[in-house]
Amino acid sequence: MPYKEHEVTKIYFSIGEVAEKFDVSRSLIRFWEKEFDAIKPKKNRKGNRLFTKKDIEILEVIYHLVKEKGYTLDGAKKQLKNRKKLSDENFDMVRSLKKVRVFLEQIRDNMPPAQRSS
């Protein structure tokens, strides 16, 4: 029976990893943590923040509302509190479309220049 490696899935992510994922500063992540009650990272003995996948999903919604849609912090807070099913579905659709776009850009970038049409 051949050896099969198991994919390692992380449970916790550091603030640096989270900030890098969203291409924002660590201080902005800390600021959002203070502003939005929904973000509750665990802290180790040193006080380092450890974010779960759920925390990151909430941060994705906040990032989408504030940075991409232009909501104010109060508007984003209200949207998170109301968090209707429709807005969640819209967010999931936008996330899926972004993945498709990245995939298509990768295909385009790997095509010979003669076949590209801009």
For position 80, what pLDDT does the model report?
Answer: 83
The answer on pLDDT for 4 being more than 70 is no
Average pLDDT rounded to a whole number, residues 107-114:
82
Q: What is the pTM of this model?
A: 0.65
Q: How far apart are CA 89 and CA 91, in angstroms?
A: 5
Average pLDDT rounded to a whole number, residues 67-83:
88
For position 90, what pLDDT does the model report?
Answer: 73
pLDDT digits (tens, 9 = 90+) for 29-47: 999 999 998 899 999 999 9
Q: Which residue is it, tokens 């999903």? A: 57
The answer on pLDDT for 118 being more than 70 is no
Residue 11: DSSP 8-state: S
The answer on pLDDT for 56 being more than 80 is yes
pLDDT digits (tens, 9 = 90+) for 78-103: 888 877 555 666 777 778 888 899 99
In order of start, what are the domains of the chain with their CATH numbers? 13-82 (1.10.1660.10)
For position 81, what pLDDT does the model report?
Answer: 80
Cβ within 8 Å of residue 21, ≥6 positions away: 13, 56
The answer on pLDDT for 8 being more than 70 is no
Q: Is 50 helix (H, G, I), strand (E, B) or coil?
A: strand
Phi, psi of 58 (to 5 degrees): -65, -40
